[in-house]
Amino acid sequence: MKKTVALLFLAVLIIGCGPKMAKQETLDALAEAQAALEAAQSELADLQAEKDEMMARRTELEAEIDALEAEIAELQAKIDARCAK
């Protein structure tokens, strides 16, 4: 009898403390958080691509600036050579 009562008590304890189904509110919040995460990851990928494009454009512009500075120096040298005469 004591074993049966102890066994029933243990069974009730295990069933009462066992896993429970999540509430619909929790599931909705989880789905919303998942959607927000996916949107943020997509935006991050877009921004990373934009950053890469801008860095490539910066490199092109720096090369163009260097070429223009070299041209300015060449023209200044010609001006100095003609004005020195």
Strand ranges inside 1-85, DSSP E:
none
Q: Is the full-model pTM beyond 0.75?
A: no
Q: What is the pLDDT of residues 25-54, one digit of tens each?
A: 888 999 999 999 999 999 999 999 999 999
Nearest 5°: the CA angle 59, 65, 71 is 140
Which residue is it, tokens 């060449």? 74
Pull the structure tokens for residue 8. 């029933």
Distance of CA 63 to the CA centre of its chain: 30
**Distance between CA atoms of residues 33 and 27, nearest Å:** 10
